[in-house]
Amino acid sequence: MPAAARSVTPASPAALYGDLFRAVQTLRIFPDGKTFVDATAKRDPSAIMADYRRQRPRDAAAVRAFVLANFTVPGVNDRQPGDLRQHIRSLWPMLVRPADPVVAGSSALPMPQPYVVPGGRFREMYYWDSYFTMLGLAVDDQQPLVETMLADFTDTIERYGHIPNGMRSYYLGRSQPPFFALMLDLSKDEDPALAARRLAALKREHAYWMTGAACLDASGACARVVRMPDGTLLNRYWDDRPLPRDESHAEDVATAAEDPSRTAEVIYRHLRAGAESGWDYSSRWLADPKRLASIRTTEIVPVDLNSLMLIMEEAIAGRAGAAGDRATQARFTRLAQQRRAALNRYFWVADEGRYGDWDRVTQAPTSAVTAAMLYPLFAGAASPEQARAVAATVRRTLLAPGGLRTTPLRTGQQWDAPNGWAPLQWIAIAGLEKNGERALAKEIARRWLGTVTAAYADTGKMLEKYDVEERKPGGGGEYPTQDGFGWTNGVTSALLERYPDL
């Protein structure tokens, strides 16, 4: 640098930016007053101030947007989008937990081998989260973690008869969307003895979901099993404990008190079943989309769960066939064929070009338009004509600037608009790809990766959920948006691997 340039005394930010400086500091746009004064202008300060005087942003949100558009702010928007894949790889070690010791007085279910947690308030391994996390581990050279997590899940089924929502004692009354069969496909361990052990665990998980078949009464439902009008047995979400959730006790008691027309135990069961679905909570489960107290999860036969059960039954048939167990192969092939037919008999809404959940009360598909409509495509249960119709419906109702909406409704629940979630992006993209709708699949991937990248550049974080309307961190629900974040990391890495040109 020439000596003359070094000798120029730079003006202070207060002098350079005047009214803008005072607005930023007075409105506390950044919690630390030092943040803005350490920012670097992206262009000539006089041009920035000319635009500020012309635009005159009126509130804190507008001032913040103006600052982020015109300055590189340390710790806020100073990260480069191109660093995203490397950032995810650096996060994996931070989310790994070693094998757990047994600790008296702890609610933790000890895991025998290392595993990955989602992050934030989620300090233990979760069921369906882990599949999407493992997609990323598999392409980020973390195969040993894929294998140890599979060992943990296999051990968990052997100990408890199922995989709980998460690895805590208070989650044992319920499971989550059953992805164990798909997790097994990510393994590279071909040991025959291990394959036999895993097949036994997979069959035991299926038996857990079908336990209610032994207690069906005139109502046509027991536990997680529902008898459909033609006699086919399908599944619903449930929880074995009709109590407030331990982890959300006060919230559940308050919700139950809002509807005196039903017993608290009935509402607790619906709330817990909603938690088993992973969609806790969504208008999908509500009689009144604006009232959580109207929840009725167990009265709904979900299209996503039954698609995953189809995948499980086909996986058991295939693995049993490979092991030479023809009787088991034949039995589960027959069950899969029955479920595949039922998916298209009960869940297909032809005049709307979508799949929907089945309402046990009205004996018809619900009116809820949700991203769950893509699960039959993911499971390979849709015809080419159905896949084309679903793709058209997705473009019309769920495709947002930043990815796939969960539903079109804004209710304040976190599994509704404007939020998008990594697992549903993957289900949609993989399902559409499988059915020849590659252009839409890639477009959803492009928009979603743009949202994740923009939020990372702005915050330096990988988040649990995103607002896909405004391409920013998501909101709603019972707790603040968490960072970390296992399934977002996993899906992002997997999509960057699948679409290297995005």
Q: Cα-Cα-Cα-Cα dihedral of 205, 208, 214, 217, to 10°? A: -130
Q: Which residues contact 485 (CB under 8 A, 6 or more apart)?
A: 118, 119, 120, 461, 462, 463, 464
> 464, 467, 469, 483: which is the annotated catalytic residue?
464
- Laid out side by side, the sheet with 300-301 consists of 300-301, 358-359, 364-365
- What's the CA gap between 117 and 486, in Å, rounded? 7
Q: Which residues contact 200 (CB under 8 A, 6 or more apart)?
A: none
What is the number of other CB atoms lying within 10 angstroms of the CB of residue 218? 5
- DSSP SS3 for 143: helix
Residue of 346, 345, 397 lying closest to 368 (CA atoms) = 397
Tell me whether residue 449 is exposed, middle or buried, using C-beta atoms within 10 angstroms of its C-beta: 0 to 12, 13 to 18, 19 or more.
buried
Report strand pairing: 40-41 vs 71-72. antiparallel
- What's the CA gap between 461 and 119, in Å, rounded? 11
Contact assessment for residue 374 and residue 390, using Cβ atoms and an 8 Å cutoff: yes
Alpha carbon of 242 to those of 42, 148, 272, 275, 464: distances in Å?
57, 33, 8, 13, 28
Report strand pairing: 348-349 vs 354-355. antiparallel
Residue for token digits 């008898």? Answer: 227
- What's the CA gap between 160 and 126, in Å, rounded? 15
- What's the CA gap between 449 and 502, in Å, rounded? 8
- DSSP SS3 for 35: helix
Active site residue 464: yes
Contact assessment for residue 315 and residue 282, using Cβ atoms and an 8 Å cutoff: no
Contact assessment for residue 442 and residue 498, using Cβ atoms and an 8 Å cutoff: no
What are the two backbone dihedrals, phi and then psi, of residue 488, each rounded to the nearest 5 degrees? -70, -40
Q: What share of the chain is helix, strand, coil (3-state, %, to 5)?
A: 55, 10, 35
> 147, 276, 280, 416: which is the annotated catalytic residue?
280
Structure tokens at 392: 């058209």
Q: Find how far residue 14's CA is from the centre of its chain.
A: 44
Contact assessment for residue 310 and residue 235, using Cβ atoms and an 8 Å cutoff: no
What is the number of other CB atoms lying within 10 angstroms of the CB of residue 69? 11
What positions carry a catalytic annotation?
Answer: 280, 464
